[in-house]
Amino acid sequence: MNPSPNLFLVGPTGAGKTSIGQRLAAHYGLPFVDLDVEIEARCGMTIAELFAAEGEAAFRARECAQLEESSLRQGIVLATGAGAVLDPANREALMSRGTVLMLGVDVDEQLDRLQHDTARPMIAGGDRRGRLESLAEHRNHLYEDIADLIFRGRRESVDEAVPRAIALLDRHWKRT
């Protein structure tokens, strides 16, 4: 376990990184940082607009730069984008600068949670199930490889999940 004042949340789209992260930050009295929101604020456009205007490679470069900057802060809860773990430098920064909590969720639950979501470019278009399964196949091992702790969803509300996440963190997160 990496003793750190920082808590970094990783996991697939729809796992609850933002929803749970905001509540964890409030519980622990820490600032909450959403990496995608930071990128959007800096660029003046949404992630979907960035993907459309510049492509995924340019977005990933922006994501790396923002993660580098944000992860240097002390005493934060940071929700990463689902694809932030694709870059080895991002994985190293997350592992070395904070405690990494993976929020795990299965594809069926992702489909339920994201059924009305039209803002995420990586799952846009047809065959959403196939896209989510492909993303899981390529990314889940990366989340698990860098995670200090793994929190699995149980088809429950955020109100039900947060106390379980807090209990897990209270048992294992060594804040310095």
**Assigned token pair, 26:** 């409030």
124 and 138 Cβ atoms separated by less than 8 Å? no
pTM: 0.90
d(CA 89, CA 94): 9
Q: Is residue 91 a known part of a binding site?
A: no
Domains, in order of start, for the chain: 7-171 (3.40.50.300)
Which residue has tokens 């997160």?
173
pLDDT, mean of each 10-residue run, the chain (176 residues): 87 92 98 96 92 90 97 97 96 97 88 66 70 88 97 89 96 87
Q: Is residue 174 a known part of a binding site?
A: no
What separation, in Å, do the N-terminal and C-terminal C-alpha atoms of the chain show? Answer: 12
d(CA 161, CA 18): 13
Q: Is residue 73 a known part of a binding site?
A: no
pLDDT of residue 69: 97
Q: Is residue 96 a known part of a binding site?
A: no
Q: Give DSSP secondary structure letters for 11-30.
A: --TTS-HHHHHHHHHHHHT-
Q: Is residue 120 a known part of a binding site?
A: yes
pLDDT of residue 129: 81
pLDDT of residue 106: 86
Q: Is residue 14 a known part of a binding site?
A: yes
